[in-house]
Chain A
């Protein structure tokens, strides 16, 4: 028996607040970068803050960026999303470029999507547009008035063709062809 479900929830594709139908809204609302000014493992994050953070904040005015320096603690990024999700990410010993990529991931995702296993990769509200099939589709309307059992509807038409029948067909085909030849002359 597996207890995978205890750790990883499964879910379906959903988007918060019909995002993308009206206008698109970036779902990251704030990001907190926690770091130490002396700790070696924070070096990458410090580089990121020195070089890229101002540009990041300028390009994403909708994201509130908080910096939280603290002594002798590891580097951490906490992202908060509009749907209430909070993603905590350890950035210890990550290089500047790695951190740039991780922050980009935090910015572009719409919530804590890694915490659920997707069961389906598509979602639709309209599974059928030309109409679903029902047992009544393409049914002969004559059946409505027929009194069953009926010779016409009860006949077994699923039997394989008998040898006599086949021979008869072949004979008739041959006769037709002969007739064709005669008329062609």
Chain B
């Protein structure tokens, strides 16, 4: 009631003020027709199939030769220019060119990057495997394989390729190019480098651009251990020792925010501890911690060395196989 009365009293006041002082609104002057026009334009554009991206290589300011030269120089590598062009030629482009040539009755052979990509992929896989084995000496074979799989996945290679500036240079039928073509081009570039400057240069190239992608990542995350407790006991059984889990801390019992801490003991010495909302998860986490210690991949592990020179030698025999246990 009071409010209404107050409002009613204010009404004549505000109307009076309005008469005396003209209301000014401070804002940018955008005419009233701008928004409807833009909306209409957008509607028409969408009707025609969305916004069209013009390929960078159809611009007036484009010189493929200069781009290829700069590509090598930027990465500090000496590419053979023919091989590099071949590495950037995708299969889809070749097919398109052949169709065009058929229409015009000419026949110029264009080589695509399939062979180079194959060579490059093989080299990348082999080298990354050797490198990871060298820098993670205690990590089991399965873990190394899964990190390698992650590093050589299409997503990672496509991302590397994109950030090396291949997106605009790739000769493909479509634009923007998809991930598969980007990753393929990267593999082909490694293949081209392998042929033009030799293994060591190619190895350093892969090290600097692909292997460094695990910098700052937790290497344990790439390898999903199904049953950490079983694995730990299996490993320790080989040494004729048994591990004993003990509950060493609990808070908030019987609440939603319960927290348990379980420590694992071998010979009355604590080897690791883990937290969890139930005792079972805490035990599992403790087992995971213990496994990390065995594999030398704790959170505070020594940073992975990204400066190893040359191609590391295979050391194989000391590495234990988890699958056997």
Contacts and interface: CB of A to CB of B under 8 A. Distances in A.
Interface of A: 16-18, 21-23, 25-26, 29-30, 32, 61-64, 66, 68, 82-84, 125-126, 129-131, 134-136, 139, 141, 144
Interface string B239-273: 00000000111010000000001000000000000
B164 A61 contact: no
B173 to A, nearest CB: 21
Contacts of B300: 126, 129-131
Contact of A62 (B60, B70, B209, B299): B70
A126 B66 CA distance: 41
B233 interface: no
Contact of A125 (B61, B216, B247, B275): B216
B67 A64 contact: yes
Closest 10 CB pairs of A and B: A22-B208, A62-B74, A125-B216, A61-B73, A66-B61, A17-B163, A22-B212, A21-B212, A18-B212, A62-B73
B306 interface: yes
A23 B63 contact: no
B208 A32 contact: no
Counting chain A CB atoms within 10 Å of each CB, the highest count among B62, B208, B213 belongs to: B208
B76 interface: yes
B70 A61 contact: yes
Contacts of A21: 208, 212, 215, 306
Chain A interface SS verdict (over half): loop
B212 A66 contact: no
Interface string B125-161: 0000000000000000000000000000000000110
A28 to B, nearest CB: 9
Contacts of B212: 18, 21-22
Interface in B46-68: 60-63, 66-67
B207 interface: yes
A84 B164 CA distance: 10
Contacts of B310: none
Interface of B: 60-63, 66-67, 69-70, 73-76, 159-160, 162-165, 167, 207-209, 211-213, 215-217, 247-249, 251, 261, 275, 299-300, 306
A136 B248 CA distance: 9
Contacts of A63: 70, 74
Contacts of A134: 275
A68 B165 contact: no
A130 B299 CA distance: 10
Contacts of B164: 17, 25, 82
Contacts of A144: 247-249
A22 B261 contact: no
A18 B304 CA distance: 14
Contact of B76 (A18, A23, A29, A68): A23
Contacts of A29: 70, 74, 165
Given A18-B212, A82-B164, A134-B275, A26 B61 contact: no
Contacts of A126: 216, 299-300
A68 B63 CA distance: 13
Contacts of B251: 135
Contact of A136 (B67, B75, B261): B261
Contact of A64 (B63, B75, B162, B248): B63
Contacts of A16: 163
17 contacts: A17-B160, A17-B209, A21-B208, A21-B212, A22-B212, A25-B75, A26-B74, A29-B70, A29-B74, A61-B73, A62-B73, A64-B63, A66-B63, A82-B165, A125-B217, A126-B299, A144-B249
B209 A22 contact: yes
A142 to B, nearest CB: 12
A68 B163 contact: no
Contacts of A129: 300
